[in-house]
Structure 1
Amino acid sequence: MHVINMADHVAEELARASLVSPRRNWRRALLILAALAVLAAVLTAAADLPPWPALVLAALAAAAAVGVIISEARYAGNRTRRAQLHAGLQGQKQLVRVLSVLDDDYYLVNNLKLPGRGDDVDHLVVGPNGVFALETKHYSGRIYRRDGQWYQAKTSRRGFAQPERPIRDPARQLKRNVDYLRACIKRTDPALSRRTRLWIEGVVVFSHPRASIDLAEAERQALPFPILRPAELAERIRGHVPWHGLSRGDVSRLVSMFAHLRTPGE
C-alpha cells in the first residue's frame, strides 16, 4: 500500500496547544535576564556603580517571570484539549498500521484538507474497488446513543464510573464530509466523476483498544455508515464489491487530484 501524508492538521494544532515555543522562550528570557540582573548587582556593589542597570534588568526579569507564569497557566488550561488531540494522533497512527496489509493497488491518503472548509478527512483509501473515507475516533470507554445523541462513559483508573459526556455524532460528521468531498471531486474532474460513477464509501472507526461500542443491531442498520473496529477494517475494504470498479489510471488520477481539489462553488 502506498501512503501519502498531507498536512497533519491535528499534529499542528497539538503543537500550538502545547505552547512549546512561547514556554521555551519565556523560560530562556527569565534565565538570561535573572543572570544579568545578578551580575549587574554584584558589579554595582563591587565597583560602586550606579544601580539603575541592575534595577532595569531586575524589572525585566520580573516581567519574564510573569510571562512564564502566564504561559504555564495557559499550558495547564489546555490539558484536556491536548489529551484529545494526542488521542486523535494515536488513532490515526493505529489505522495506518492496520491498513498496511493492503497491497500496492491501494493508496492511503492521510489528513485530506477539504478546500473552503475547516474540516478534513482523517483517511482516504483509494483502490480498484472504490474510495473509502474513514472517520477515526480514539475514544475509550462505553460508546452508545440515546435519543439520537452519542455519549461516552469512561471508567477511572481506580475502577470508578465517570459521568457520561456527549460527543459529536461521528456518522453525521462523516456524511457531511463525504458529500462535500464528492462535490469537490465532481467539480474538479467532472469527466472522471461521470465516467466512473464515483461513489465514496464511508466508515466510522473507533480505534481505542478499550472502546466498547454499545449499539443495538437496529441502531447500526439505521446509521448511514458502518461502525467498525480497526481489526475489521482491512477485510471490509478488500471485500467490498463496487458498482463500478476503478482502473489503475483512475486510481492514480484520483490520488493526484487530491492535491488541488476545487470547491463546488468555483
Structure 2
Amino acid sequence: MIGLISLLWAGSIVIILRKFRKKEEEERYIARKEQLVPIEESYEFDFENVEITAVPDLTVVIDRIILRQNGLFLFVNKNRSGHISGNENEEYWTQHKSSVPGGQVVEKSFRNPIIQTKLHIYALSQKLLELDCSVWIQGVVVFTNPRVKLDVKSKEIPVLHPEEIQSYVASYRPSKTIAASSILKINEWMKEQFKGNVQEKTS
C-alpha cells in the first residue's frame, strides 16, 4: 500500500514538473517574440504634426514622433536664430541676436521649450495608457534654424540641431526595448487617427 502511494506521489510530481517546464518554455517563447521584431515587420515609423487631446482642456500638436524598437522619440521644433542660452530647470531661456551683422545685439526671453516638451510627453503618454502600451517617451528639443548657436544645459531632454537627430536616435540605448506588439499597436493607432500626417519607412 505504501509502495503504491509512493508511486502515485512520484507520478504526480513528474506531471507537475512537466507542466511547469511547458509553461516556462511558453513564457520564454512569448518573451523572445515580444522582444524581437521579425525582419519583415522591422519598421521605423515617422509621424508629423500629430494633434492629441489628452483631456478635454488639453490639446497639443506634436511636431514629430519617431517610433522604433529602441525608443519612442517626441520632438519639439523651434525656429529661433542667434545665441540661445539656458538650462532645463529655468522657466525662461535667453535669445541674443542682431538684425544685421555687427549691429546691436538684442536680448529676448522665451519660455523654456523643455516645459512644452514635457507637456507633450504627458499628453501622448495618456493616449498610450489607453492602448495598454507602457512605453518610455524620450523628448527632444530641436532648433531648426541654421543660424543658431546653442549654449544649453539639459540632461533629461537633449537639445539638438537637425543634423544630430539621426545619430542620436540610432545610438539611443533604452533600459528596455519596445515589444513588437506595442510597436505595431501604436503604429496602427497612429495611422487610424492621423492618416494625413503619417510617413513610414523600413529600417
State how far apart, in whole Å, the 1-side matches of 2:70 and 2:119 are.
22
2:43 to 98, 105, 115: 105
Contact 2:44 2:68 in 1 (8 A): yes
2:139 to 175, 179, 202: 202
Say yes or no: does 1:220 pair with 2:154.
Answer: yes
Contact 1:174 1:202 in 2 (8 A): yes
State how far apart, in whole Å, the 1-side matches of 2:183 and 2:82 are.
37
1:237 to 162, 166, 169: 169
State how far apart, in whole Å, the 1-side matches of 2:172 and 2:81 are.
28
- 5+ long unaligned stretches in structure 1: 1-103, 262-266
Contact 2:60 2:123 in 1 (8 A): no
**What percentage of residue pairs aligned between the two structures are identical?**
24
AA aligned opposite 1:212: K
Matches within 5 A, 1:64-103: none
Aligned counterpart, 1:178: 121
State how far apart, in whole Å, the 1-side matches of 2:118 and 2:78 are.
15
TM-score (norm 2): 0.65
Instruction: Output one character per residue of 1:77-100: Cα deviation in whole Å (capped at 9) or x when no partner.
Output: xxxxxxxxxxxxxxxxxxxxxxxx
Instruction: Output one character per residue of 1:160-206: Cα deviation in whole Å (capped at 9) or x when no partner.
Output: 1332111121101001110221012102x12xx1xxx4110111111
1:211 Cα deviation from its structure 2 partner: 0.4
1:220 Cα deviation from its structure 2 partner: 2.5
Distance 1:155 1:207, change over 3 A: same
- 5+ long unaligned stretches in structure 2: 1-41, 195-203
Give the SS at the match of 2:176: coil
Contact 1:129 1:242 in 2 (8 A): yes
Instruction: Return structure 1 stretches of 4+ with deviation > 4 angstroms.
Output: none
1:167 to 110, 131, 146: 110
1:231 Cα deviation from its structure 2 partner: 1.5
| Larger fraction in strand | 2
Aligned counterpart, 1:252: 184
Paired residues, what number?
Answer: 147
| Larger fraction in helix | 1
Contact 1:143 1:153 in 2 (8 A): yes
Aligned counterpart, 1:64: none
Contact 1:142 1:213 in 2 (8 A): yes
Instruction: Output one character per residue of 1:128-163: Cα deviation in whole Å (capped at 9) or x when no partner.
Output: 111000111111101112892211111222431332
AA aligned opposite 2:188: S
AA aligned opposite 1:201: Q
State how far apart, in whole Å, the 1-side matches of 2:102 and 2:188 are.
49
TM-score (norm 1): 0.51
Matches within 5 A, 1:112-191: 112-115=50-53, 116=56, 117-145=58-86, 148=90, 149-187=92-130, 189-190=131-132
Contact 2:45 2:67 in 1 (8 A): yes
State how far apart, in whole Å, the 1-side matches of 2:185 and 2:154 are.
34
